Amino acid sequence: MSFDRKIKIAPSILAADFANFGAECEAIEAQGADWVHVDVMDGHFVPNITFGPATCAAIRPHIKGVMDVHLMIAPVDPYIEAFANAGADVITAHVEAGPHTHRTLQAIRGAGAKAGLALNPGTPASEVEYYLDMVDLICVMTVNPGFGGQKFIHSQIDKVKQLRALIGDRPIHIQIDGGVDPITAPLVAQAGADVLVAGSAVFKGGSVSNPTPYGDNIRTIRAAAEGVWA
Ligand SMILES: O=C(CO)[C@H](O)[C@H](O)COP(=O)(O)O
Ligand SMILES: [Fe+2]
C-alpha cells in the first residue's frame, strides 16, 4: 500500500446486501472504488452488531485492493491478530475504546497492518498528538458510530482542519466516515481529508445485478471532492 493524498473513495459494505458480500465487493471495485471499508460492530462499544474476522476472511478473496477494517469494538487488543490474519490492510481502532491506545497501535503495526485511529464526534483533535509517529490513518467520525445513513455532523470539519495542521508533512491519511455524499465530500476534502468512506451514498439505487448506479455514485462523490482542487 503506497501513500498519496489523492482522493480515495471507500464504500462501506454496511450499506451492501449482507447476503451477498463477495459479489458486492467485486461490484464496487469494478465500479471504481479505491478501498473497501468494512465496519465491525460489537453491540457493546456501539449499539449495533455486524460481523467478525471470519466474515472478513471470507470476503478477502473478493477484494483486489485495500481492505479497510473499522473496528467499533472494545476491547480491541485480543482481536487484532485475527483481523490481520483475515487479510485486513488497514485496521482502525477507536481512541475511546480503551485506555492503552499506544499498545493497540503497536499491536496493529506489529501484526503487519497499517494502523488507523478513529475519533468519535465528541473527541478533540488533540487526542492524536502523541500517536502521530504510530498511525497511518486518522478517521474522523462525522456521525456517531453504529449505523449507516445518519446525518453528517458539520462541526467535525473544523476538526479535520486541526488534524491537517497537526499532521504536517507526515504520511498520514485523514479519513472521513459518516454521511459523506456529493454535498459534504467537497467540504471535508477542502478541509484536508483524502479518504472518503461512503455507505448509503454509494449503494443507493444499485444492486449486484444492476451495479451501474454504484459507479455513477462513486464518480459523483469523487468529482465533487476533487472539484476543490480544480
Ligand atoms: O462506521 C460507520 C458507522 O459507524 C460507517 O462506515 C458509516 O456510517 C458509513 O455509512 P454512511 O455513509 O451511510 O453514513
Ligand atoms: Fe466505518
**How many angstroms separate the alpha carbon of residue 226 from the centre of ligand 1?**
21
Q: How confident is the prediction along the chain (230 residues), in pLDDT tens digits per residue?
A: 899 999 999 999 999 999 999 999 999 999 999 999 999 999 999 999 999 999 999 999 999 999 999 999 999 999 999 999 999 999 999 999 999 999 999 999 999 999 999 999 999 999 999 999 999 999 999 999 999 999 999 999 999 999 999 999 999 999 999 999 999 999 999 999 999 999 999 999 999 999 999 999 999 999 999 996 54
CA 92 to ligand 2 center in whole angstroms: 9
Give residue 219's pLDDT.
Answer: 97
CA–CA gap between residue 99 and residue 77 (Å, rounded): 11
Which residue among 9, 36, 39 is best mutated to probe the pocket of ligand 1, counting the most ligand atoms within 8 A of its Cβ?
Answer: 39
* ipTM of the complex as predicted: 0.98
pLDDT at residue 143 in the model = 98
Distance CA(190)–CA(133), nearest Å, equals 24
Query: 195-217: per-residue pLDDT in tens?
Result: 999 999 999 999 999 999 999 99
pLDDT digit string, tens, across residues 64-80: 999 999 999 999 999 99
Question: E-strand spans in 17-110?
Answer: 35-41, 66-72, 90-94
Please report the pLDDT score of residue 228 as a whole number: 60
Instruction: Say what the pLDDT of residue 84 is.
Output: 98
The type of residue at 112 is G
Q: Which residues line ligand 1 (CB under 6 A)?
A: 12, 14-15, 37, 39, 70, 72, 143, 145-150, 177-180, 197-201
Measured in angstroms, how far is the CA atom of residue 129 from the centroid of ligand 2?
22
Q: What is the mean pLDDT of the chain?
A: 97
The set of catalytic residues is 39, 177
The cell numbers describing 91, all together, are 485496521
Consult the annotation and say whether 70 binds a ligand.
yes
Q: Are 94 and 72 in contact (CB under 8 A)?
A: yes
Q: Residue 181: is it exposed, middle or buried by C-beta count within 10 angstroms (0-12/13-18/19+)?
A: middle
Q: Which three cell numbers stand for residue 161?
A: 482542519
Q: Which long-range contacts link 76-83 to residues 24+ away (Cβ below 8 Å)?
A: 76/104, 77/103, 77/104, 77/107, 79/52, 79/53, 80/104, 80/107, 80/108, 80/111, 81/107, 81/111, 82/52, 82/53, 83/40, 83/53, 83/56, 83/113
Report the candidate in 223, 229, 179, 219 with the shortest Cα–Cα distance to residue 201: 179
CA distance 22 to 26: 6
- Could you give the domains of the chain? 8-227 (3.20.20.70)
Using the Cα atoms of residue 101, residue 107, residue 109 and residue 114 in order, give the sign of their dihedral: negative
pLDDT of residue 230: 44
